[in-house]
Chain A
Amino acid sequence: MLSRTADNLYWIARYMERADIAARLLEVGSRISLLPSAHGYRSEWDSLLQASGTADGFAHKYGDPVQRNIESYLFFDRDNPSSVASCITAARENARIVRTALTSQVWDALNTAFQELRQLERTPRSELELSRLTDWVMRHAAMVRGAIDATLLRNDGYNFLNIGFYLERGDNTARLMDVKYYVLLPSVDFVGSGLDNYQWTTLLRAMGAQRAFHWAYGGEVTAAKIADFLILNPQSPRSLITCVAGVNNHLSRLAKAYGRVTRAQGKAAAILDELETTTVDAIVDEGLHEFLTRFIGESADLGTLIHESYLSGDVR
């Protein structure tokens, strides 16, 4: 397929996943803010902006992090390239360009999300509950995902879409965990405190994984269990290992279909291999924050290799 088409498909998936994450982040924020304030320490909402990598843009436009403004910024603001509105618009625009590489159901799902978004934008904010907005995003992200799974031909385009989804999702899981561990907690003294546990639970809830976690682990919520669940457990749909295995699987399919192995396959296999052989203890020893930072870097490198190997149009 055309490299440009593959690139568009890859970005449709990344943008939809990113919109989904933005909504989940908002949910984390609104739940955490229901807690009694963290006593003059850094604002929870601010750390959300840090997590989504949009703190500078926000400060520039609005100044102090006020909940209402943050909601607007993360959901509706077109100046924020990672807002839900920006992501859904970009996903739909990419889909319009490669309309013929999609089934009508997939197009329908993306186009419907976009048309409804425009209605939401016309609705007075006082009539829009935050929970309604976040539910709305997750529902549409799931509809797009479902339409792709149910109707799309299992060809190279399908692989590029999935690579986009998994890469973005892994990156975001790592970032969300990092926020929790490194940014949210006011100081190391709080590790293991009620606040600590509450935040972990909120994080799980945002990922829609709270019940799954309890089924899998039972008992108390601890940082080690959560790290295991979100990093190393292949049953968890958002764990790093699940996401890397997903990218690896679809890269292998491409290599087979094209009869050609690129550096991207080697990189994905190496990251997966490390996750399969490491333990939670080893990760804690390295330091969760250090581990996650390293993972985010590796994931970005993998993205670059995928771009060079398939999407840039300079393939020889």
Chain B
Amino acid sequence: MTVYFNEMYQDGLVRPPYLRLEDWMKTMPSEFRQMKQAEAEALFRRIGITFAVYGEGGDPDRLIPFDMFPRVFTGQEWARLERGIKQRARALNAFLADVYGRGEIVKAGRIPARLVYQNEAYEKAVVGFVPPKGVYSHIVGIDLVRTGPDEFFVLEDNCRTPSGVSYMLENREIMMRMFPDLFRENRIQPVDSYSDRLRRTLASVAPMKCKGDPCIVILTPGHFNSAYYEHSFLADLMGVELVEGQDLFVEGEFVYMRTTEGPRRVDVIYRRIDDAFIDPLCFRPDSMLGVPGLMDVYRSGGVSICSAPGAGVADDKAVYTFVPEMVRFYLGEEPILQNVPTWQCGKADDLKYVLEKLPELVVKEVHGSGGYGMLVGPKSTAEQIESFRVKILKDPGNYIAQPTLALSTTPTFVAEGIAPRHVDLRPYCLVGEQIDLVPGGLTRVALKEGSLVVNSSQGGGVKDTWVLAE
């Protein structure tokens, strides 16, 4: 049987970051706990944080479950993570600058040309164009899992528009409101500067033609999008307008938004829509979401788009395998964070191995997300495994496989009391003129006993994530 690393207890002892939480946990009367849980839920509903799940129907105002038991890192643990995260974010950006430029890494034979240039996410429309400060991915969300005291693995990179940061901020607000004593007793580093830092990052990549204070906006697909709350939340915190495609138009060499006082020029667009929907003239002609002509303005330095169109080629699950190689190639350093060993079903040898070991592996679609369309071998029935085998054989190139990781657990409030549940971590690294990371991130927790799937669409919840000051 697999032994999971418990972040609170090791060899029967409480690990240092959780020392002060033990008392808190043990002395909390269960009625008090239920009262606080209800209070938290009321707060979330009141603020309006909800998460609508694609394709599931039901209540669009569903709440994502919030677990009050915090997840804690020591300053020392975090310092190492921070170095690793920043290193990876730098390498990913260097890779993007390279593949839309001279393609040195391909020429050097360190990554197959096919994976890059024939990738669906590779945008030919931006080849040769260098965005301001050479940055392509301005917000890099790196999904991490832990398997031991010093063992962290990167599960995947998100270079386009990683979501969830509003939960990081709101979880903290709610914890501080409900348990002020915890924050007096523990020295917890604040995360609330995230929005200022994001604003600074976006302003630092204002386009060439922008003089003076750049006008920043967030571009959302609209209020039916499941992350709409987050878009409006960030716009509010940064004090910038939240626009839809219909609010923007191109005239001459600039982009403008339609305001009650007439057109106003926009310099930086933090877009939360996919590449395909940015500009119907350049990408999908049937898209109602985008702004016709936007890409021309972008390529002539009239506006910055964050993340840059085409940034998705770096976070593809097949390209993922080569990120450690990128770190060595561009930075001349050894990667601080490890990749999970990954088998490409598109390769004959790998496929053979994967099909043999299917009951032990996790298999994912290359372009899938949100925990859909994946197989967790050890948690599946023989039937499920066999039907997945058929799917893989139909289109092997569409799948990758990884060993089932022994994800760490942290104590979590459940119906019966407190029990260990599996967690992951998504920190949000900001890349502009400088590279920046707030001490914290979003911890997702698989609330079902034994489950390893933390996605909110599959019954996952969230926790406040603490980094202690040294």
Contacts and interface: CB of A to CB of B under 8 A. Distances in A.
Interface of A: 1-6, 93, 96-97, 99-100, 104, 107-108, 111, 156, 160, 254, 258, 260, 310-311, 313-316
25 contacts: A2-B243, A2-B247, A2-B257, A2-B258, A2-B259, A2-B260, A93-B223, A97-B223, A99-B236, A100-B232, A100-B235, A100-B242, A104-B46, A107-B48, A111-B46, A111-B48, A156-B260, A254-B260, A260-B261, A310-B260, A311-B260, A313-B247, A315-B258, A315-B260, A316-B263
A3 B48 contact: no
Interface string B252-264: 0000011111110
Contacts of A156: 260
Given A100-B242, A313-B258, 12 more contacts: A4-B247, A6-B260, A93-B223, A99-B232, A99-B236, A111-B48, A156-B260, A258-B261, A260-B261, A311-B260, A315-B262, A316-B263
A2 B260 CA distance: 6
A254 B259 CA distance: 13
Nearest to A99: B232
Given A310-B260, A316-B262, A4 B47 contact: no
B246 interface: yes
Contacts of B243: 2
Nearest to B220: A97
Contacts of B233: 100
B39 to A, nearest CB: 15
A314 B260 contact: no
A123 B262 CA distance: 48
Interface string B207-231: 0000000000000000100001100
A4 B241 CA distance: 11
B464 interface: no
Interface string B289-301: 0000000000000
A94 B246 CA distance: 16
B46 A4 contact: no
Contacts of A260: 261
A126 to B, nearest CB: 27
A310 B260 CA distance: 5
A297 B152 CA distance: 69
Contact of B236 (A5, A93, A97, A100): A100
B244 interface: yes
Nearest to B217: A2
Interface of B: 46-48, 223, 228-229, 232-233, 235-236, 241-244, 246-247, 257-263
A96 B48 contact: yes
Given A2-B247, A104-B47, A314 B258 contact: yes
Contacts of A2: 241, 243, 247, 257-260
Contacts of A313: 246-247, 258
Contacts of A97: 223
A258 B260 contact: yes
Nearest to B262: A315
Contacts of A104: 46-47
Contacts of B241: 1-2, 5
A311 B232 CA distance: 20
In the complex, which of the residues A6, A96, A108 has the most CB atoms of chain B within 10 Å of its own CB atom?
A96
Contact of A3 (B229, B235, B260): B260
Nearest to B234: A100
B47 A3 contact: no
Nearest to A118: B61
A93 to B, nearest CB: 8
Nearest 4 CB-CB pairs, A to B? A313-B258, A100-B236, A310-B260, A97-B223
Contacts of B260: 1-3, 6, 156, 160, 254, 258, 310-311, 315
A250 B242 CA distance: 25
Nearest to A257: B261
A5 B236 CA distance: 13
A258 to B, nearest CB: 5
A97 B233 CA distance: 11
Contacts of B228: 96
Given A2-B243, A4-B244, A108-B46, A315 B261 contact: yes
B18 to A, nearest CB: 34
A3 B258 contact: yes
Contacts of B246: 4, 313
B60 to A, nearest CB: 10
A181 to B, nearest CB: 38
A252 to B, nearest CB: 15
A160 B259 CA distance: 13
A258 B260 CA distance: 9
Contacts of B48: 96, 99, 107, 111
Contacts of A6: 260
A99 B257 CA distance: 19
A100 B247 CA distance: 16
A160 B242 CA distance: 18
Contacts of B258: 2-4, 313-315
Contacts of A310: 260
Contacts of B235: 100
A6 B259 CA distance: 9
Contacts of A96: 48, 223, 228
A104 B47 CA distance: 7
Nearest to B241: A2
Nearest to A310: B260
Given A3-B247, A100-B232, A315 B46 contact: no
A313 to B, nearest CB: 3
A97 B241 CA distance: 12
